[in-house]
Structure 1
Amino acid sequence: MEPRKLLSSLFYFSLLSLLSGNQKVVGSAHHHHHHKHRHLFDFKLSKLFVFGDSYADTGNLGRSVGRSWKEPYGITFPGKPTGRFSSGRVLTDYLAKFVGIKSPIPYKLRRVGGKYLTNGMNFAYGGTGVFQSTSPLPNMTTQIGFFQQLIKEEVYNSLEIQQSSAAILGFPSFITQVVKELVLNLKRIQGLGLKKVAVTTLQPSGCVPQITVASSFQKCNGTLNSLASFHNLLLKQSVAKLNNETKETTIVIIDLYSAFMTVFNNKSDHLGSSKFENPLKPCCVGISNGDLCGNVDESGTKKYKVCENPEAAFFWDTVHPTQEGWRSVYSALQANLQQLY
């Protein structure tokens, strides 16, 4: 696959969450599906706002254009498609659980029901990125604009923010421009009066099944992982500079790259972390070349096949983790997430 097409297919940008509310330190038990994990803190944070793409989207992409609304997406949870690009929950859902709230509703449902901002809002749209393009889908800048309009209507105080950048592929000059655009977005968000910003590194892009299929899912692509590491280095340097420029906003790094690699290498000592037999192999794959998970032909016949046990797979399709994959990444991130508070 040529670099430009690969870049287009793999450029899933970022998860950006904003937390607001009072913090309270107490002892509590935090439960996952397969284990009990004791947290020393119960953070009473009332809102979570999410910006990004298919790694963060929980239902904004329309049914007519999003395969995330087609079977077998959602097979693990809740048993049917909900617009999430996974077999079930995504990292957004786990971060919401971490701060003690329900996953915020998608932006497109903002006028449905009464208290639609009880837990915040998810502005992420699958298929979007950081730069302006001809796509009608709202990119990062537009999503932040939605949020700015929102806070004109609703008042929030003591804001905190957390961002996960996930741009994966590009030449060094392109990556440099991506990081510069990220910095502009961070400054824009800081201008809204935010107190804390947490930026996650880029995950190891050379390990997604769309790439590892070339090695029969046996090894990651070192070149692409090096590009991701270059992106992460520039991001860390930029964050350090932003921290030096202002003392009013603290920015911390959440190492998503290391969390993915911890899971891939089966070296996690975190309670409940899964040890996947082959974490690079996807669960839901197209039957023929060019077919994708969720594709059907004119007669409705499935053009994909699903593995016997999605909970034993890290990746759901060619780029997105399963619910169990995201849960394992979340488990590996526990120590990093404490920096938020």
Structure 2
Amino acid sequence: MARIELKRIAVRLCCWVHFLALISFTAPRPARSAPQVPCFFIFGDSLVDNGNNNDIASLARANYPPYGIDFPGGPSGRFSNGMTTVDVIAKLLGFDNYTPPFASASGNELLSGGGRISFGGQVQNYQAAVQSVVNILGDEDSAANYLSKCIFYVGMGSNDYLNNYFMPAFYSTSRQYNPQQYADVLAQQYSQQLRIMYNYGARKVVLIGVGQVGCSPNELAQHSSNGVTCVNRINSAIQIFNQKLISLVDEFNKLAGAHFTYINAYGMFGDILMNPAANGLKVTNRGCCGVGRNNGQVTCLPYQTPCQNRDEYLFWDAFHPTEATNIIIGKQSYSAQSSSDAYPIDILRLAQI
């Protein structure tokens, strides 16, 4: 078993995302079967945030009602009315508890958590966590063997487009790079962080493609003439980036012991938009909670009254899906319904390796 590199590495990345992780150092559960993998790490943005923004200086928060209206215990910092996609996947993998934020984790939740930090910052947190795993298990080889069985979920890119590239009034990236060049830059930085994760024991890695953010209520409100037609230039740029992720999967799968896979969130959203009724949804172009055109010009405000039929909405607020949508995406990510959902394998098969 390859040893884990424990040297200090300085890392940086332009996009803003958060880190959280779930690791199973729990006592045996007599009434329940063990999780399919010993631990589950999640690196990502607000789509998978579980409360990491609650204790930092940020306008992006979801720790107030009506966020969490359908989540056990109420508002938790998740940007949805209920579970996120990774909550769904964690349950399908057999974990009992919802993933805690990095800052609140301790003891058996040692590796859980993270703040609103760059992907590079998340990876640095992971490096520190690996050292703790080494200390717990006694040596690097034992830690490497343990981590090789875990699943690492990595989803980034949405914010690089929504809150950077397609905000020319605030950022110059769209003037510096055409869509192909920008995707190249992001993929290169992504690859650097994935390499560090691999060097620190990550072997089963899931790369989540960026969804059709050109169809979000916020983008429809700003750029769609009829408030229904998706913004093609945004979705086209995202497709270029997603193709880069597929190439990264092929590249990293050449490494010893690596099992990387790509989840086609873009295609899953497309299927829902093409036939929402088949998925139990009725409203795809408006947020359940928000202000302005498409309920997407201003995101869900504190104590605002949301729609009553939340399970029929694709989007909860200006940017984020409802729990109903997250359940659809989470289930398909875990167990692919078609060959286009995952490449080369889904999360269920990855867990079985």
Distance 1:308 1:267 in 2: 18
- Counterpart of 2:299 in structure 1 is 292
Distance 1:184 1:142 in 2: 13
- Counterpart of 1:326 in structure 2 is 326
* Stretch deviating more after TM superposition (172-181 or 327-336): 327-336
Q: Indicate how the Cα distance of structure 1 residues 49 and 174 shifts in structure 2: closer, same or farther if over 3 A, else same.
A: same
- SS of the residue 1:198 aligns to: strand
**Are residue 205 (structure 1) and residue 210 (structure 2) matched?**
no
Partner amino acid, structure 2, of 1:211: E
Distance 1:257 1:184 in 2: 23
* 1:138 equivalent among 112, 117, 120: 117
- Counterpart of 2:191 in structure 1 is 183
**Are residue 109 (structure 1) and residue 100 (structure 2) matched?**
no
Instruction: Give the C-alpha shift of residue 15 in structure 1.
Output: 7.7
Partner amino acid, structure 1, of 2:331: S
* Stretch deviating more after TM superposition (177-186 or 158-167): 158-167
Offset from partner CA, 1:150-184 (integer Å, 9 cap, x none):
22122341423333433132433222111111111
- SS of the residue 1:260 aligns to: helix
Distance 2:305 2:232 in 1: 29
- Counterpart of 1:3 in structure 2 is none
- SS of the residue 2:112 aligns to: strand
Q: Indicate how the Cα distance of structure 1 residues 292 and 198 shifts in structure 2: closer, same or farther if over 3 A, else same.
A: closer
Distance 2:349 2:276 in 1: 22
* Stretch deviating more after TM superposition (308-317 or 327-336): 327-336
Distance 1:86 1:267 in 2: 19
Q: Indicate how the Cα distance of structure 1 residues 291 and 210 shifts in structure 2: closer, same or farther if over 3 A, else same.
A: closer
- Counterpart of 1:162 in structure 2 is 152
Q: Indicate how the Cα distance of structure 1 residues 338 and 275 shifts in structure 2: closer, same or farther if over 3 A, else same.
A: same
- Counterpart of 1:283 in structure 2 is 288
Alignment of 1:1-341 (within 5 A): 44-62=36-54, 65=58, 66-78=60-72, 80-101=74-95, 102-111=97-106, 114-117=107-110, 120-123=111-114, 125=115, 137-155=116-134, 156=143, 157-159=146-148, 160-168=150-158, 169=161, 170=165, 171-213=179-221, 214-244=224-254, 246-266=255-275, 274-286=279-291, 291-295=298-302, 304-333=304-333, 334-335=335-336, 336-341=346-351
Q: Quick check: 1:264–1:279 contact (8 Å CA) kept in 2?
A: yes
Structure-2-length-normalised TM-score: 0.72
Instruction: Give the C-alpha shift of residue 215 in structure 1.
Output: 4.3
Q: Indicate how the Cα distance of structure 1 residues 247 and 154 shifts in structure 2: closer, same or farther if over 3 A, else same.
A: closer
Q: Quick check: 1:284–1:306 contact (8 Å CA) kept in 2?
A: yes
Q: Quick check: 1:199–1:252 contact (8 Å CA) kept in 2?
A: yes
**4+ residue runs of structure 1 moved beyond 6 angstroms?**
14-21
Instruction: Give the C-alpha shift of residue 42 in structure 1.
Output: 8.1
Instruction: Give the C-alpha shift of residue 20 in structure 1.
Output: 7.8
Offset from partner CA, 1:185-223 (integer Å, 9 cap, x none):
111101012322221221112111111223454221122
Distance 1:19 1:339 in 2: 20
Distance 1:142 1:189 in 2: 12
- SS of the residue 1:252 aligns to: strand
What is the number of equivalent residue pairs in this alignment? 285
Distance 2:297 2:210 in 1: 27
Instruction: Give the C-alpha shift of residue 17 in structure 1.
Output: 6.4
- SS of the residue 1:48 aligns to: strand
Distance 1:283 1:150 in 2: 38
